Every structure is written in C-alpha cells, then in structure tokens.
Structure 1
C-alpha cells in the first residue's frame, strides 16, 4: 500500500510534466516552423525583396519605353529615331548604311549542300 502511494506520488506528477512538455513543445514547434511562424516571416521578407527588385527593373524598362515613345510622338519627332524604327519594321536599309555579311558557323553544315 505504501509503495503504491509513493509510486503514484512520483509517477503521476512525472506523467503530467511529460504530457505538458509534449504539448508545449508541439505548440512551440508550430509557432516557429508553421506557415505563419517565425521562419515564414523571414521567407516573406526574402520574397518581398526579390519582387521589389523585379518591380524596380520593370519600372526602369517602362521609363525607357516612355522616353522612346516620347521621341516618336508629339510635336517634335526625333527623325533619327523615326528612321531607325521604320527601317527595323520594314526590313530596309539606307544607301549610306554599312552591311556586314558574316560567315556561317564552321560546325553547321551549309544550307545549300546536296549529297
């Protein structure tokens, strides 16, 4: 009888401590590693920085296109820009343009070779 009481007096609080420790560690692990935990905040910060750099690059590209469009529209049209754009779209060259013909790759077989 006395042994059971002492054993129960030792094991019952020990079991409660183990159970509460397991529950606490479960909630602590999820507070750190879950989708809304502390590690998720660091991942979100990295994603925000990455997306911010992409936004900055796209903003620079947009400003460059706006500058080019402003040169082609409005009251004062930049003739060089208009000429360059027209030649690029039509596939034409000017009589003063220098044309450079490049040799085909030595690795690639000639296009007009017949066996």
Structure 2
C-alpha cells in the first residue's frame, strides 16, 4: 500500500479535537457561569434591585420628612394630632368613620 493513498489519521484526529474544543468553548461562552445568558440574567436582576432601591429611598425620604415634622425644631401640630388619635384610637367630633 502506498503511503500517499492512505487517509491521514492524524489529520482526522486533529480536526475532530479542534471541532470538539470549539464546540466546548462556544457552549461555555453562551451557557457557562460567565456566558451571555448569565450576563443577561445579572442585568435583569440589577434592574430589579435598582427599582427596589428607588422605592426604599422614597420611603426613607418620607420617613425623614415625618420625623422632621415631629421634631423639637419643627412641630407640625396637625401631624401630631393625627398620630396621637391613631395610637389612642380616638376620633374628633367632626370626623366621620367609614369601615
């Protein structure tokens, strides 16, 4: 048998190995821990967390406003009256209670 007519087994192994590695790295780039799908998931999670942060910052600002309005430096008598009636479970004579 002539050496030139024989199929090159080494070439076949090389290309098979190269195809396998290319497939593995392509899969890892898309599906892996640091792949494209994971990056999209992290971006979506970050957006949700940003919206939760904005809600919490608004709540903190509201609570700071209420705290200021009940502080010694600035006392909002209407707010104080509302809070006292809420805690004590009382109503004024001119109020209507709807249940």
User: Could you say whether these structures have the same fold, taking a TM-score greater than 0.5 normalized by the shorter chain as the test?
Assistant: yes
Separation of aligned partners in 1, 2:23 and 2:97: 74
1:39 to 37, 40, 54: 37
Tell me how large the CA RMSD over aligned residues is: 1.8
Residue segments in structure 1 that go unaligned for 5+ positions in a row: 103-115
Distance 1:8 1:99 in 2: 95
Paired residue secondary structure (2:48): helix
Q: Which has the higher contact order (CA 8 A, sep 6+)?
A: 2
Query: Which 5+ residue runs of structure 2 have no aligned equivalent?
Result: none
Which runs of structure 1 show a deviation greater than 6 angstroms over 4 or more consecutive aligned residues?
A: none
Q: Could you say which residue in structure 1 is the equivalent of 2:56?
A: 58
The number of residue pairs the alignment matches comes to 99
TM-score scaled to structure 2, two decimals? 0.86
